[in-house]
Amino acid sequence: MINRLVQKNIISKLSETNKIIVLYGSRQVGKTTLINELLKKISKKALIINADIKEYADVLSSRELTKIKRLISGYELIFIDEAQRIKDIGINLKILYDEFPGLKIITTGSSSFELANVLKEPLTGRTYTYSLYPIAVSELKSKFNLFELDLQLENFLLFGMYPEIFSYKNSGDKIVYLKELSSAYLYKDILELADIRNSKAIFNLLKLLAYQIGSTVSVNELANQLQLDKKTVSRYIDLLEKAFIIFRLSGFSRNLRKEVVKMDKIFFYDVGIRNAVINNFNEISDRQDVGELWENFLIAERIKYLSYNNKFANKYYWRTYTGAELDYIEETGGKLFGFEFKWGKKIGKAPKTWLDTYKEAEFKLINRENYFDFILDI
């Protein structure tokens, strides 16, 4: 069992408040396991509700106080798993929150776009929201020292960090699992909840995005290649992002004439899924895309680190029309931090344009020698 760092934040909030805890994350990322482990650590009589069971779903979508009261009677906490599958869940959670002020409530959802839409208005000011990602390197630190983690780095880059990956001993089993996960199963919620019938278009879009990690993405070019209209492609990208499959970085600029800002970079939350989408599990030494994989892995791990440590930063890439660029920018506390990623032990320096334009900004090169500084709290 890998200890998930967000668990301590949730336990802390449960002890402080009766606000509803909402936990988002993609399918198979470990949300249910995390909450079940959490329930073992707190002394509350808990009702665990599977939203797929009709009897529970009927009551929790009824808006009838008598029925709801009968369901939760005798319990101090209720856990509703995959709550987005229950009709009108937002209104009914509001009833629970308002009518039973001593009741602790935890919900999970694998697609934030649906759960957020039904929760946002009725539950304004009544929730604390958390995200759960694939396993973070920082979550493995309690089991392995830095030397042991570094030995596993190439496996992380090939097979990613989904929890089940760590239960498989050989590469073949890992590949089978990732191919199954990266099929329609991973974005099943998108197809169902957004009423999309063309799953092939979604997968083809993912494939194009997988080949372009580390590069700016043109929605117009994607639309032309997929023979879809621009609005449809933009919508699909938005849905994939809200289902925790991909994320985007916008271009940073305080001088619009010099700097590229119109196109985003798009990355995968898990590089194993990315490799499965393009069906490339070649060894690192045989790959042409190791630099892009390294960049994606580091930024995804940085996002996990910031989220689990309650650190808030605006995240960008930086590029000028003359070719100067930095892979990753953080803006926090009114300060700018620029990062360049190099695979292996390569070295580099900040672009002169960056130093001249942002004289107060900091710069750091991240490579195999110092990457733990970037993704771990050490």
CATH number at residue 172: 1.10.10.10
Higher pLDDT, 201 or 105: 105
Is the same domain home to 149 and 106? no
Which positions ≥6 away from 273 have C-beta within 8 Å? 160, 162, 178, 181, 182, 186, 245
The average pLDDT across 295-314 equals 95
Is the same domain home to 85 and 222? no
Is the same domain home to 215 and 76? no
Residue 297 has pLDDT above 80, yes or no: yes
- The parent domain of residue 50 ranges over 6-131
Q: Is residue 1 part of a domain?
A: no
Phi, psi angles (nearest 5°) of residue 217 = -110, 130
Is the same domain home to 233 and 367? yes
Does the pTM surpass 0.75? The reply is yes
Is the same domain home to 313 and 236? yes
Query: Which strand (E) or helix (H) includes residue 127?
Result: strand 127-131
Confidence of residue 29 (pLDDT cuts 50, 70, 90): very high
Confidence of residue 109 (pLDDT cuts 50, 70, 90): confident
The bridge status of strand 104-109 relative to strand 20-24 is parallel
The bridge status of strand 216-217 relative to strand 264-268 is antiparallel
- Average model confidence (pLDDT) across the chain: 90
Is the same domain home to 15 and 77? yes
Is the same domain home to 108 and 201? no
- CA distances (Å), 109 to each of 116, 235, 254, 294, in order? 9, 20, 37, 29
